Amino acid sequence: MRNLFHVAACGAALIAAPLAAQEQAGAETEEVSQPQLDEIAGMMSNLFIADPLTAEQEARLPAAQAVVGTMMPDGFYGTMMGEMVDKMIRPMMSMFSSPDFVLAARLDLDEEAVGRLTEEEQAEISAMLDPALDRRVDAIIDVMTGKMGGMFAVMEEPVREGLSKAYAVRFDDRQLADIAAFFATPTGGVYARESMALFSDPQVMQASMKALPTMMSGFGNMETAMTEAMADLPQERAYADLTAAQRQRMSELLGIDQDELASVIKPPRPPEEAVEVD
């Protein structure tokens, strides 16, 4: 069940922000060092290169920051995302902690044998195996939501900064003033506070989840499309395909003898395997 908890956590985080995760099958999650985290952060930030603000946009930045500050007061982002994660994880954990799921995980019995038990019998056996299951699930949810709430709280200031710059780029002085004036009204104040939270509303989340099957079905023919797109490309080279000059140069670059080069170079995968989507 540990892996399912990781899936739930990662699924919640992925909806809010890009997340780099590494999991080794059958092993505990390894601690990631600060230099590794810094390297990952650098790689991720380099995926999105933003142009520096012009002098005119810099001049609008204070007005944009005031607008964004109304939308995202201190503590807002961490609270919003923590609530969203809780709304996502709790139903998933309820499914994973159901008696039939617990029995399937804890008993070496086939599904048919478990299915012959009534719901009351399943619950009784489940309680024998883990009398503290409900409290254990609550503890897991509390830790996960707490950790993710803290993680998103750290993200709040960078998100506020980025959103302020985006507003300074996309809206001129007059438009920013109009937005600020609207936010100063009773209705505008409510909208400012709720506009960001709308994306984590259960109505929006439910609609998004319903769209997942259709969205994922679009990947169904991806391997075929990749194979067709690369059909006219030359194949990858094996050691035997390299010229004498290429072997000599590669040997020099790698700092190994040419007679070792053949064992170092891995054979290319067949084209149909090279495009497999894991």
The pLDDT value given to residue 14? 38
Which whole number is the average pLDDT over 63-70?
94
d(CA 69, CA 8): 31
Residue 120 has pLDDT above 60, yes or no: yes
Contact 6, 23 (CB under 8 A): yes
pLDDT for res 218: 65
Give the model's pLDDT for residue 58.
96
Cα dihedral value 79, 82, 84, 89, nearest 10 = -160
Residues 110-119 have pLDDT tens digits of 888 888 888 8
**Tens of pLDDT, residues 238-267:** 889 999 999 999 999 989 988 898 888 988
Are the CB atoms for 77 and 155 separated by under 8 Å?
Answer: yes
The C-alpha torsion from 253 through 257 and 262 to 264, rounded to 10°, is -60
**Rounded to the nearest 10 degrees, how much is the dihedral formed by the CA atoms of 107, 109, 115, 116?**
-110
186-216: pLDDT as tens digits: 999 999 988 887 877 778 777 877 877 777 7
Query: Burial code of 76-99, b = ≥16 C-beta within 10 A, e = fewer?
Result: bbbebbbebbbebbeebbeebbbb
Which is nearest to 83 in space by CA: 4, 15, 161?
A: 15
